[in-house]
Structure 1
Amino acid sequence: MDSSSPASNTISVKGTIPVASTFGSPSINFPSPPANDSSCDGKTISLWPGRYHSPVTTALWEAKSKLLVRQLGPPKDAPLQSTLLTKTPSQSRTCILYDFSSDFVLREQYRDPWNEVRIGKLLEDLDFLAGTISVKHCSDDDSTTRPLLLVTASVDKIVLKKPISVDFDLKIVGSVIWVGRSSIVVQLVVSQSKKEGSDDSDSIALTANFIFVARDSKTGKAAPVNRLSPETELEKLLFEQSEATHNLKKRKRGGEWKDLENGNLNRLKSLLAEGRVFCDMPALADRDSILLRDTRLENSLICQPQQRNIHGRIFGGFLMHRAFELAFSTAYAFAGLVPCFLEVDHVDFLKPVDVGDFLRFKSCVLYTELHNLDQPLINVEVVAHVTRPELQSSEISNTFHFTFTVRPEAKAMKNGLQLRKIVPATEEEARLILERMDADSDSLQ
């Protein structure tokens, strides 16, 4: 079959991968676990690592079960795959279909209180799908070699272009759009059409780029990945854009961009002056402002085995899901009205999270943008800390930045809505606010 045909754009199955509701414990005919895999202990695949409870992860596990048998049980003395192949984006392209219009149980699993898709759950699915696509691209289809270890390095800005309803079918299409020596960029496009025959560009609801890096599973060192040969004009354009973005990031890391600290000094002093009034003379403080520390929320959890991926680490999508839920709650408590999600800014996965880790999520509102009264913006930061009480240590695993606005229908219920301005109590908080404001400003240019 021609590799460019639609039937080849999936993993180990023909056509689009359907997502079915997962009510209870569905029976899926997966292959038996490898006999030499001590982590499986001969149990059914429902107990394998990564069998997380999302309908999408269930569908993808079924679709790539043969590939995962190799990933989970390679011979210990097997050589690392050394032959680099050249693949096209169409060979990794994967489509997921959520049949919301006819599957009531699936619809209920993804419904939020406002009859829209739960964004946190969708972020989780996007991470798993991106990982599946990267594994497909990097595979050499040779059962005698040891596969690469693929790690989510970062997530570029995720932008919600329009609300996603649970009353209409939803589709996610993803493929590899760029590769470096050991890094891979996977682009995902979420689309939903509410009218038959509507233009494809009008149906796009969300876009996201996930960046993975390949490592030797034994040494942990960077490992080369299969090359990419874009075919269509769009694929070539996406490759060129990703190449430019990659080079820009390298120049930033290399110190080409200078810190304009002095230019921000007056802004920093102005913010701190406002904060000092709150700290030293609270009775005279501006009632339309609030200290950053007074917007904080926090929650914590112990990472469980059910949340791990095939490499034994905690899913990046699970972390994004939990961070989003806390950010949403923070924006809700701050605004006093139901928030509406707009975007996730760039996320770096600084430190892997393991099963058994004590994970603490700390959130705050960093700043508000009030120039457009019809769409005021609320920027929420969530920092994930891996805490080890027995070692008296706490390290940052991830920092997330979410942007929300207020739902129009909620805003109409509260006449004269006025979001408060955020002011810092310390120089560190002032720097965080300015850095975030400048980063968001740069992304819009």
Structure 2
Amino acid sequence: MLARLGGSRAAVQRTVTAQPRWRYAALSSSKDGRRGDDGAGQHKTPIVNLLWELRDAVRREREVGAVRKSESKTLAEDDDSLEPQTPISTEVLYEFSKDASLKDKYLNPWHRIRVGNVIEDLDALAGNVAFQHCSANHQDMSSTMLVTASVDRITMLHRASLEDDVKLSGCVSWVGTSSMEIKMQALSSWSQEPFLEALFTFVARDRVTGRARRINPLKPETPAEKAAFEAGRKRADHRKQMRKQHKDAKFYRSYLEDVLASELKDSDEAITIEQAANALYNNAKPRLFMPAIALKNAVRLSETRLSNTFIMQPQERNTAGRIFGGFLVRRAYELAFATAYVFGGAVPRFSEVDEVVFRTPVDVGDLVHFESCVLFTSKTLHANPSIHVEILASVVNPEATNTHVSNSFNFTFEVPPGSQPLSTVLPETRDEALNIATRFYGDVAQKIEDETLLSEATRDGA
């Protein structure tokens, strides 16, 4: 599927294996596209509007051609209906070179692309990819909902310019029983190398019971598709293993010197996350208790916090009538950016989204409180000194006087060369120390994995 957004028109091309056809949908960048049912998406970015229009068109086509099943059977019970699907790439083209109005919608104050808007678009595109995979062969999706379970990683490889056209693409890379991994990329028109890569995990749920629903298996055919499927399987197995072995996971004590900004004895010793948390807390105590003489270029974690609170408006709903996950990620990104900016004293450069977890859905009318903090800074995990920001989104219910965390987000920003030295962040409680150690371990493990993959790729290419 290919969608173009630019000028006064968006051309949409979608190929269906059984009955090839061309379909076009007109959309002006200065006028929101409208869906025929509930108007979801009308107040989003032009790309989100277009993608949801396309999804609605596909849904209606599937409903017309669906073979009605017996009322006694469900998708979860009728495995014969789950035909394996080949990976199909869905693409969206931003024609910034032709459309000044579209370009203005994605412009940030530093004349670069608004990363938060692109992340919001990525979530919408991933939703389209998931829906297309699960609704293939006129599959009836009326009783199934697809939701974003997590964003495992979004990495900015280099900064994009609004002088170039940009293409977003997404494809299912791996499928389990009721979940799927979708690999996303963003490329500038002048390069075949992506400037942004992302991994989204979607899950299928029964609309009534909320239980897991089986989805179509994936049938990779080309060597590239098979390699992507194998990589996705390894990532899924790795996540399961990490959850099981979390308490026993170990890394070298020397890594902590980066976070503590001080040397440690027995730095070549392997320690657990809990031991690392104890080392962080014990290192922070004298500086917390004697700030006048010990607090050198260090700040308490509580001093890094920023927050904001929003009423979730109907205009932010998705096609299921709940608050669009991409909107929540964009709000979290903007708060994380501001937090890194205030902390680092210079305009930060977005590096990556380390992890986003959607724990519970957010509904229209909910009062959502976003709170940020800097977990730690690092000199070694990235090319430039980096700031690692955590955002927790909580749904607040004043009538019931309770609150619960609905989403968690982790972002990494780099400060430009020549910026002032970053302060060390000190945990004030053991829970804060454990949170820092856990997130730091995840980033260290990711860095080691990246270096291993690069080494293997270099060796295979030699």
**TM-score, structure 2 as length reference:** 0.80
**Residue in structure 2 matched with residue 213 of structure 1 by the alignment:** 203
Q: CA deviation at 1:71?
A: 8.9
Q: Distance in 2 between matches of 1:274 and 1:355?
A: 44
1:419 corresponds to 2:413: no
Specify the SS of the correspondent of 2:131.
helix
Q: Aligned partners of 1:282 and 1:433: how far apart in 2?
A: 21
| Contact 2:123 2:325 (8 Å CA) reproduced | yes
Answer yes or no: is the 8 Å Cα contact 2:167–2:189 preserved in 1. Answer: no
Mapped to 2, the partners of 1:164 and 1:287 lie a distance apart of: 38
For 2:312, which of 285, 303, 313 is the aligned residue? 303
Q: For residue 137 of structure 1, what is the aligned residue in structure 2?
A: 133
CA distance in structure 1 between the aligned counterparts of 2:115 and 2:33, rounded to whole angstroms: 27
1:441 aligned partner: 444
User: 1:377, CA displacement in angstroms?
Assistant: 0.7
Give the structure 1 partner of residue 82 of structure 2: 84
- Structure 1 letter corresponding to 2:148: T
Shift, 1:273, TM fit: 4.0
Give yes or no for contact 1:278–1:291 (8 Å, CA) kept in 2: no
| Structure 1 residue 131, shift from structure 2 partner | 0.4
Cα distance in 1 between the residues matched to 2:364 and 2:185: 31
What is the CA distance between 1:270 and its match in structure 2? 4.2
Letter in 1 for 2:411: F
CA distance in 1, matches of 2:188, 2:195: 6
| Contact 1:95-1:171 at 8 Å conserved across structures | yes
CA distance in 2, matches of 1:349, 1:380: 17
Report the residue type matching 1:246 in the other structure. Answer: A
* 22, 44, 66: which one aligns with 2:29: 22
Conserved? CA contact 2:14–2:23, under 8 Å: no
Following superposition, the deviation at residue 156 of structure 1 comes to 1.3
Once residues 416 and 23 of structure 2 are traced to their aligned partners in structure 1, the CA distance between those partners, rounded to angstroms, is 34
In the comparison of the two structures, how many residue pairs are matched?
409
The equivalent residue for 1:44 is: none
Cα distance in 2 for partners of 1:63, 1:13 equals 16
The answer on whether the counterparts of 1:186 and 1:211 sit within 8 Å (CA) in structure 2 is: yes
* Structure 1: segments with no counterpart, 5+ residues: 1-5, 34-46
Q: 1:54 aligns with which of 42, 45, 49?
A: 45
Structure 1 CA distance, aligned partners of 2:425 and 2:117? 29
Pairing of 1:277-316 with structure 2 (within 5 A): 277-316=286-325
1:153 to 149, 156, 166: 149
1:242 has 2:251 as partner? no
Matching of residue 251 in structure 1 with residue 241 in structure 2: yes
* Structure 2 partner of 1:37: none
| Preserved contact between residue 33 and residue 53 of structure 2 (Cα < 8 Å) | no
Counterpart code for 2:171: S
Cα deviation, residue 284, structure 1: 1.2
SS in 1 for 2:440: helix
Q: Distance in 2 between matches of 1:380 and 1:341?
A: 11
* TM-score under structure 1 length normalisation: 0.83
Deviates more, 1:277-286 or 1:225-234: 277-286
The residue identity in structure 2 corresponding to 1:271 is L
Per the TM alignment, residue 287 of structure 1 is displaced from its structure 2 partner at its CA by 2.8
Identity score, percent: 37
Task: Tell me which amino acid in the other structure corresponds to 2:196.
Answer: L
Q: Deviations 1:357-386 (Å, cap 9, x if unpaired)?
A: 111111011111134897111101111111
Q: Do the aligned residues in 1 keep the contact of 2:52 with 2:124 (CA within 8 Å)? A: no
The one-letter amino acid of 1:238's match is A
Give, as a single letter, the amino acid of the residue that structure 2 aligns with 1:183.
S
Assess, with a 3 A threshold, how the Cα gap between structure 1 residues 138 and 419 changes in structure 2: closer, same or farther.
same
RMSD (CA atoms): 3.1
One-letter amino acid of the counterpart of residue 404, structure 1: F
What does 1:89-128 align with in structure 2 at a 5 Å threshold?
89-90=87-88, 93-128=89-124
How far apart, in 2, do the equivalents of 1:370 and 1:133 lie?
A: 37
Equivalent in the alignment of 1:181: 177
